[in-house]
Amino acid sequence: MKYFLLLTFCVFICIIIPLVELINITLIRQESPRNSLQRLPKEYQQHVNHLFNFKPKPKPHNFTNESIALFRFLDTEFYGVVGIGKPVRFFNMIFDTTWGNSWVISDECPPQVPACWMHNKYDGSRSSSHIDNGTDFLVQDGKYNISGFFSIDTLHIAHMNLSNYEFAEVTDLPWPYMLSKADGIIGMAKDQLSKKGSPPFYYELFRKGIIKQPIISIYINRDRSSNRGGNIFLGGIEKHYNGSFDYVPSTSPAYWDFKMDRIIVNVKGKSFPVCANGCTAVVDTSTNAIVGPSSELKRINRLIKAKPIAYGRFEVDCDRINILPNISFVLNGKDFVLKGTDYVQKVAYHGIELCLSTFQPVNNYISNENEWTLGGAFLSAYYTILDVANNRVGFAPILK
């Protein structure tokens, strides 16, 4: 998927006021800007700390669950703020259910790699808790490679500290990552997808007893009036849903996958089936897209009257969003319905608005033409549970 990166630079102007006369002035001690900022509501503190490189005072971890704030970038990416090392440095990281390992762009990434530009970079030499590992890291990403080496350091996520955590420092990655807001990935797939036997971070949290209940809850928020993108809740279920959960078993040792009966596009009283003989779907928190086989995607976009533009994307008439067909994803015989407002992505720049279908051609990590991934377009309509202990995925309608 290609991103259009919008850059905004802030200019600070310093005003110097000369003192003409010597004046006796009574000084009143006022609360520092740092303390004022850190009294903001909890959901904003991680972002403020990241922007100003504040080092929050550690809080004792005497609870058994944790909420991780997500922020949204261009209605495309959902990322959280993660600290690494001592002293802590902050990074924008995607909590990605299609990656097993965690990685961050390394300070050793050479300047001839454009994907490393304009990102925060991890420098192990500046962290006293860093431990050298040096084992090579290599993952194939389509026709490109993501490569680097493993290191060990402490992760700081929300109020949790995960010491001696093994992750990859990336020194080479494909150019589209230059357009991403994220500086790296926190892997949330299953254990077998990890390279070098380094487990996803949540396995370590459960194993060390930092999080007691092995459940991950995913709430994706696409409300454009806020930059908040939702949250990842570890160790329980928050009340962001209506009704009850419907669970489907997850059979893959690598991905959070499940069987999908079919997809039905409902146009003017007629039903048009896609994935008619059943297919496999994967939960994907890294993107807003719904990804599948090219032939099936073209059919869906044709039925919703979306027109091809570039990079496999299809444009929808913005005035027709509210009258677009409902599309049902059938799981265990039950319909999970998306409306046009769910599966259309709005991108606005300088007063020009573009409406894009979130149905996109097959992605690089899909292993065969019968697999789909359900990203934010689906997850923002259905609160999602990854039940680690019972190896199943649960869905319930989002509370709106």
Nearest-angstrom CA–CA distance, 253 and 269? 40
Task: Give the DSSP per-residue string, 206-261.
Answer: HHTTSS-S-EEEEEE---TT-SEEEEEEESS--S-BSS--EEEE---SSS-EEEE-
Clarify whether 96 is annotated catalytic. Answer: yes
Please list, in sequence order, all residues whose beta carbon lies within 8 angstroms of the beta carbon of residue 9, skipping any fewer than 6 positions away. none
State yes or no: pLDDT of 23 exceeds 90: no
User: Which residue reads 């459960």 in tokens?
Assistant: 206
Lowest mean pLDDT among 25-29, 321-325, 389-393: 25-29
State yes or no: pLDDT of 12 exceeds 80: no
Nearest-angstrom CA–CA distance, 400 and 396? 12
Average pLDDT over every residue of 31-36: 50
Summarised one tens digit per residue, pLDDT across range 165-198 is 999 999 999 988 888 899 999 999 998 888 776 7
Contact 346, 75 (CB under 8 A): yes
Clarify whether 284 is annotated catalytic. Answer: yes
Please list, in sequence order, all residues whose beta carbon lies within 8 angstroms of the beta carbon of residue 349, skipping any fewer than 6 positions away. 4, 6
Nearest-angstrom CA–CA distance, 110 and 144? 17
Contact 151, 133 (CB under 8 A): yes
Spot the catalytic one: 75, 96, 153, 387: 96
Cα angle value 175/178/184 (rounded, 5°): 105
State yes or no: pLDDT of 20 exceeds 50: no
CA neighbor of 88 nearest in space, from 50, 42, 60: 50
Spot the catalytic one: 75, 183, 257, 284: 284
Chain-centre distance for alpha carbon 89: 19
Summarised one tens digit per residue, pLDDT across range 282-325 is 999 988 999 999 889 999 999 999 999 887 889 999 999 999 99
State yes or no: pLDDT of 41 exceeds 70: no
| Alpha carbon separation from 125 to 30, 81, 101, 122, 321 (Å, rounded) | 37, 21, 22, 9, 51
All structural domains of the chain, each given as residue ranges with its CATH number in brackets, are 65-234 (2.40.70.10), 246-397 (2.40.70.10)
Of all residues in the chain, the percent with pLDDT exceeding 90 is 61
Nearest-angstrom CA–CA distance, 326 and 306? 14
Lowest mean pLDDT among 217-231, 274-288, 294-308: 217-231
Where does residue 323 rank: exposed (0-12), middle (13-18), buried (19+ CB within 10 A)?
A: exposed
More confident residue, 63 or 289: 289
| Alpha carbon separation from 87 to 48, 123, 162, 296 (Å, rounded) | 17, 11, 14, 50
CA neighbor of 121 nearest in space, from 102, 132, 107, 131: 107
